[in-house]
Amino acid sequence: MDFNVKKLASDAGVFFTRAVQYTEEKLGQAEKTELDAHLENLLARGDCTKNWTEKIFRQTEILLQPNPSARIEEFLYEKLEKKIPLRITNAEVLGQYMQDAAKEFGPSTPYGSTLITVGEYQKRIGAVEREFIHASAVGFLNPLRNFLEGDWRIISKERRLLENYRLDLDACKARLKKAKLAEAKAAATPDFQETRPRNYVLSASASAAEQELRVAQTDFDRQSEVTRLLLEGINSTHVNHLRCLHEFVKAQAAYFAQCAVHMQDLQKELSRFPNAFVGNPSMSVIAPGPSPLSTIGEVKPPATGTRKAKVLYDYEAADVSELSLLADELITVYTVPGMDPDWLIGERGNQKGKVPVTYLELLS
């Protein structure tokens, strides 16, 4: 217990000395030992590496998992060292919803059968996305996390020790300077009654301060070397992160390539469906909504190619170029060259306008 009390008192004294030295430096009342330029550059480079690695790591996490609640949950599982439960992707959820909806609408209807097919491909895309997330986490996120939580913590600890040793060194320099000044002042104004005892005490105090300074300088130099070696390892960290970045790009390229293949296969599947009007299967993106026709009344139907169609659902025209529909009614439809494949020209009596093919069941 005695030893612990003495150690506690000693540590408190060292802490107080460092606090005084730090405060006087901030107030400009004490000199500060500057680090060599090479070490300063290494420290600045280390801080830059840490800050940008942290930003890249956080943003990659957001890219792979946009849901902040899910990220917090995964973080807690990691800290508790428990296995993270399997989480299905948004594309897989969408695919399941589409297939469930198809059961309600009727899987034999054009809309229902299409929902089943699209839902299946959405699930495939979701599975590919899950593989991409896993590959990116293992090959890219984990190395970045290991640097931030491992190497950088060690570097930060050694930097704090270096700063403490510097404060001790500067405090020793200040004590030696005060001892020298006191010794010089005593020599300049001697007291003939106490000259020998006072000079002896001041000389001993200066010698003790010099000894403390030598020890502090040795500790500071040794810690500077340790910190320098650790910071020079940042070069190896950059090389490792570069390799991981290539792995991330490779995984991302494979993910997008597989998604493109699935979407092209899906378009080919849809082109085989009866009453399915889709774009060219070789295209990666289906053309969006209809282009407006300025004068729909001027379009002349071809002599052949007109068909009867049954309206499946009510449809309200968005503008004057479209034709409103009522469920279960029969209309005549036809197409014209250059028209968007998702739309047809519909006629009901004297009324004419564009109608969406997804609202129709074409009759033979």
Beta bridge partners of 308: 332
What sign does the CA torsion over 165, 169, 21, 207 have? positive
pLDDT, tens digit, 9 for 90 and up, residues 132-186:
999 999 999 999 999 999 999 999 999 999 988 988 888 888 877 777 776 666 6
Its domain, for residue 312, covers 307-363
Is the residue at 132 inside a domain? yes
Tell me the per-residue pLDDT of 186-218, one tens digit each, with 9 for 90 and over: 666 655 555 455 554 555 666 777 888 888 889
Q: Give yes or no: residues 201 and 327 share one domain.
A: no
Q: Domains in the chain: how many in total?
A: 2
Given 272, 297, 319, which residue is the final one in a domain?
272
How far apart (Å, rounded) are the C-alpha atoms in residues 15 and 215?
A: 18
Residues 267 and 333 in one domain: no
**304, pLDDT greater than 50:** no
Q: What distance in Å separates the CA atoms of residue 273 and residue 276, rounded to the nearest whole number?
A: 5
* CATH assignment at residue 335: 2.30.30.40
Tell me, yes or no, whether 297 lies in a domain: no
pLDDT at position 181, please?
72
Note whether 196 and 327 are same-domain residues: no
pLDDT tens digits for range 8-55: 656 666 666 777 666 766 666 667 778 889 999 999 999 999 999 999
CATH code: domain of residue 69:
1.20.1270.60
Q: Does one domain contain both 193 and 237?
A: yes
Q: Are residues 41 and 121 in the same domain?
A: yes
- In a domain? residue 64: yes
Q: What are the tens digits of pLDDT across the range 78-108? A: 666 777 667 888 999 999 999 999 999 988 8
258-279 b/e with 16+ CB inside 10 Å = b?
bbeebbeebbebbeeeeebbbe
Strand duo 343-348 + 360-362: pairing? unpaired
pLDDT at 2 over 60: no
**5 in a structural domain:** no
Q: What is the Cα–Cα distance from 243 to 116, expressed in whole angstroms?
A: 41
pLDDT score of 18: 72
211 and 343 co-located in one domain:
no
Could you read off the pLDDT of 247-297 as tens digits, one per residue?
A: 999 999 999 999 999 999 999 888 877 554 444 444 444 444 444 444 444
Same domain as 219, residue 107: yes
Residue 292 lies in a domain: no
What's the average model confidence in pLDDT over 234-238?
94
Listed residues 250, 272, 294: the one ending a domain: 272
- 36 and 154 share a domain? yes
Write down which residue in 257, 272, 287 finishes a domain.
272
Is 320's pLDDT higher than 90? no
Same domain, 324 and 237: no
Alpha carbon distance 353, 364 (integer Å): 21
